[in-house]
Amino acid sequence: MANIFADISWMEAAAAAVAMLLGTTVFSATGFGIGMVATPVLLIAHEPQSAIVIPGSLGLLTGFWIMWKSWRDVPLRQVLPVSIPSWFGAPIGVYILSTADAGILSIAIAALIILFAIGSFFKVERELPFSTPLGVIAGFVVGVLLPTTGVAGSLVMLYLMTRQWERQTVRAAMAFFLTTLMIMSIFFFWFNGLYTQERLTLIGIAAIPAALGLALGSIIIKRINERIFQYAVIGIIIFSSVVAIAQELVNL
């Protein structure tokens, strides 16, 4: 056991703990965003595979908790046509994560995170034409991108917002989508040998901060101004993504 912890630096442990505290706080409050928040923080101290596997694994528990609390709000008939295509995209995404160059993948992940963070400011206020086919396409694309980069959930979030549902319904639908996709992704993480001893240890270290974030998010959703919370989260996302990109560019 001592040898396992000896292989993990304090910086790696701290990055995992802080990333999951922030990521699960946002996920608990909004129903999505765990990868968008946690991944760039993890990239500061970890390689891309760990930065995806850790939040993907711990996010599953958060997703189950949200679904348990709001199961009656999940619009199954509407969200399944979006969720099922994502399951077929997951093995493609995990394969890319397993084989791509780590440095290039880190830069690509951080750059995409910045784009999706900026895109989360935009809200679609009307029903899109051909919304069901677009939802199927969005589901598959996110199924590929989420296990590869940890982000892209906002594509499905934007699609769900065009349905003019209540905030709680959107949150529950998004949690259902991400939780079922995480289940598929975790299976393929295991199948491709991505659960190393070090990553499992980091998941254990980050589990308590993740649980704290879960509780904190449930408080925030009731008490804080949504717009102020969004600005703060996106500020953290962009800052940590820029730091991650700068580190990789220096190492090229």
Q: Where are the domains of the chain?
A: 2-251
> Which of 55, 59, 135, 64 shows the shortest CA–CA distance to 97?
55
Residuewise pLDDT in 10s, the chain (252 residues): 445 555 788 899 999 999 999 999 988 877 777 888 898 889 889 999 999 999 999 988 888 888 888 888 888 888 999 999 999 999 999 999 999 887 788 888 788 777 777 766 665 555 554 457 878 888 998 899 889 888 777 778 777 777 777 777 888 888 899 899 999 999 999 999 999 999 999 999 999 999 999 889 888 777 777 677 667 767 776 777 777 777 677 666
pLDDT at residue number 130: 44
Within 8 A by CB and 6+ apart from 231, the residues are none
Kind and range of the H or E run holding 123: none
Quick check: 197 and 54 in contact, CB under 8 A?
no
pLDDT at residue number 109: 79
| Residue 189 CA, distance from chain mean position | 15
pLDDT at residue number 151: 74
Which two three-digit tokens encode residue 48? 């891309």
3-state SS track over 42-56: HHCCCCHHHHHHHHH
pLDDT at residue number 218: 80
What is the model's pTM?
Answer: 0.82
Quick check: 182 and 77 in contact, CB under 8 A?
no
